[in-house]
Structure 1
């Protein structure tokens, strides 16, 4: 009973007595959740528009960030390098459609998943060949992103806010709002949903799969670039970021694979839950809880609400 009290109750007693520390933990979890959500947005975009779980989204984040840093290292101004990186992600979107998905229309989902796994390892090899395997420093200041920090008083406790973290939150909000309007209010957005529902039916009404897939992969590439910049600003740009990107999987399970708001809510639940778990429960179980707690939360959701918080329940009638 004493052990159960220490695990479940004592942390909240500590929180009540340390408002500044607790609020700082909440803020750090909020920022981590926003960054997880940005990664999850790329997965949601492609799954919502094509029904494909894009295993390569994580390496796309790394590849976009490495391209940006690599072009700047060649002597190009930061914003020129940014524009060229966007163009590179556009070329990648066209190449993915022409080389891979054009030949896999109406194939089973497992075939499409395996294609994205193959794309992942191709991009890893290409990235290591072109940029090398050493970590790179993100060009945060050159891009005009804010640096430094601000301490604010919240409920009698000081919380330190990193300016780059605030920028990440603002960018995430703008992206979610833009994508929400794009999917729900535009003709192309409705066409994207039609393609996801049925490739053959979409073709029969004149929707071009080629154009739709290029658009959605390019949009996912832009999201990957924004995510890579924000993650790279908080740490070095390296292939280790791909491992972090897999945290998007429990985020998707919580929010639902087709829900853009769900990606944000799921990311915040995972981010804040991880930080609270690591700080307050981690010492009781030997630490390292941040590496597996997200997957435990996702498992619980799979047991009781497999479609996620915002996902649609699928009912098949026979």
Structure 2
């Protein structure tokens, strides 16, 4: 029983890492209805910029601030030059725009910082820690704490701030929000900036775990089952979906891997997501689409 609990807790904490990437998707989707395929490239760009600056002698905090500024600039440019001209276009047009943005970001990262692999040390030990008789990773505990802070901060921001209320209005009906005076470019820029901050945090944590390399952008594929299960429009759903994916992935790897074969952890989350699409296509906490004719 103790081993089962350790596997379960390890899976839940690993799922939080997936949720950190998924939160960026949710923020942009709530404000603009866009599935931002470039989120994985933002994770890569943020991590690669940070580690490259640190290797050039910058302090950790200064490198973090400079990287965040770079991501905010990307957010402003994206909002002004990509999103605003495509208002009211079909979802496939918006998706293709973010796909093109993804390729541009990866090319820019390679142009500025090169294509070599970087190690990243955040000063957080990945040693096991015994809590209530269960061995857990200190690094995973730190990642879970960061996710909790982000979720609490974003929930309070959207609930109490004027800009947060504008974001919720745009999420409900962009044209109606624009008609009553909500400035769409400002809202979209803010949301992309918040998504950039989230991608930087996720990039640093994933970079410390896997190394900063171009395959880091593929972490976006791990976030897809999380979004499908939790719901594209719910930050809390991103956390719940990540926990569910992480837990089932680890349990399937340990208990079913010996029977089915190695690699089950790579495809099991997608099987789970497919089942959710059949039973609850809008996810656990997502809102069903309602079209009025």
Alpha-carbon deviations, 1:23-48, whole Å to 9, x = none? 22122211210001111000000001
Checking the alignment, whether the CA contact within 8 Å between 1:78 and 1:139 is kept in structure 2 is no
The answer to whether the aligner puts 1:28 opposite 2:10 as a matched pair is yes
In structure 1, C-alpha distance between the alignment counterparts of 2:288 and 2:85, rounded to whole Å: 31
Cross-structure match for 1:73: 55
| 1:1-318 equivalences in 2 (<5 Å) | 16=1, 19=2, 21-141=3-123, 146-152=124-130, 154=132, 158-316=133-291
Aligned length: 293
Checking the alignment, whether the CA contact within 8 Å between 1:52 and 1:109 is kept in structure 2 is yes
SS at match of 2:214: coil
In structure 1, C-alpha distance between the alignment counterparts of 2:16 and 2:195, rounded to whole Å: 16
In structure 1, C-alpha distance between the alignment counterparts of 2:292 and 2:47, rounded to whole Å: 46
Alpha-carbon deviations, 1:22-74, whole Å to 9, x = none? 22212221121000111100000000111111011111111100010011122
Checking the alignment, whether the CA contact within 8 Å between 1:56 and 1:119 is kept in structure 2 is yes
Alpha-carbon deviations, 1:221-242, whole Å to 9, x = none? 0000010111112120112122
Checking the alignment, whether the CA contact within 8 Å between 1:259 and 1:311 is kept in structure 2 is yes
**Structure 1 residues 148 and 311 mapped into 2: Cα distance closer, same or farther (>3 Å)?**
closer
**Larger Rg over CA atoms:** 1
Alpha-carbon deviations, 1:195-246, whole Å to 9, x = none? 2333322221111111111100000000000101111121201121222221
Q: Compute the displacement of 1:159 (Å).
A: 3.3
Checking the alignment, whether the CA contact within 8 Å between 1:105 and 1:199 is kept in structure 2 is no
In structure 2, C-alpha distance between the alignment counterparts of 1:153 and 1:94, rounded to whole Å: 44
TM-score (norm 2): 0.95
Q: Compute the displacement of 1:152 (Å).
A: 1.5
Q: Compute the displacement of 1:162 (Å).
A: 2.5
Checking the alignment, whether the CA contact within 8 Å between 1:278 and 1:289 is kept in structure 2 is yes
Checking the alignment, whether the CA contact within 8 Å between 2:23 and 2:198 is kept in structure 1 is yes
Runs (5+) with no aligned partner, structure 1: 1-15
